[in-house]
Structure 1
């Protein structure tokens, strides 16, 4: 009987702890118990229970926050990228703070061919599509853009036209 009571109390402990703090649920299944200090446009600042250091995490990494008061705030929807066909779901991020809480995968690259007759705009769109396809192939819904280069006319190649090169680092939950 004592063993059953002890087991029951151990099972209740996480609920008692979470009732005293805010609970951040990440898309990767992890939960964080602490106090949400601020909610900004792309990031959330929080403090772990029993600590004073402020931590920042991207809203892209968070599913929802359950506040100590009981209020639930849905933060972002999980983006499921199952392969190259889901390339349109991939989000290109341009600020390092937007990747906080995400896991780095590997570098990806998208570029147009050396000999092409695209206008600058179509070359840029084609390079972006290739970049997103490379990330989608890795099952990564995010890219931190690290380089975006475009050349037009004779500076691009001997035949004129344009070439676009985009590089980034793919991230997942």
Structure 2
């Protein structure tokens, strides 16, 4: 018996995202995101009830502003007091860990999925999932993009609009496209 596409995704192997079981999981996430994005702030609280139940974990006082989008939700882990500003998108085909007291500016995008390099592979929906880890007390500026497989250290700063294609050490500031270090702790 061959492994399911979800099993391959979780294992970090090539899988096809064109799969009924994965689509069913994405529908659950879209419903939870819709509720989160359409509830009044007083009803929603820090994280809408359905989205809160879907997340892998969320520390006390973690907050996600609306609008928000994610692919699956269950791969997202938010530390105590983590804050995601309006417009954030997390395509969580792999685990995304956001540390305690870490701040994401508006429209930050985290992409765990990497599509196949060959056209035929892309047409077949082939992708591979790579985890993202952001340490404690980091600050990710508005509209930054973080690619899969990246680790951003404790206290690091990613400048607004940066595209992070390499790991960022603790207490380092990176800017630009691709992001490059301008200050080390």
Q: Is the pair's TM-score, using the shorter chain for normalization, greater than 0.5? A: no
Q: Which has the larger radius of gyration?
A: 1
Taking structure 2 as the reference length, the TM-score comes to 0.21
Q: Report 1 or 2 for greater relative contact order, CA contacts < 8 Å, sequence distance ≥ 6.
A: 1
Decide which structure has greater helix share: 1
Q: Structure 1 or 2: larger strand share?
A: 1
Q: TM-score, with normalisation over the residues of structure 1? A: 0.22
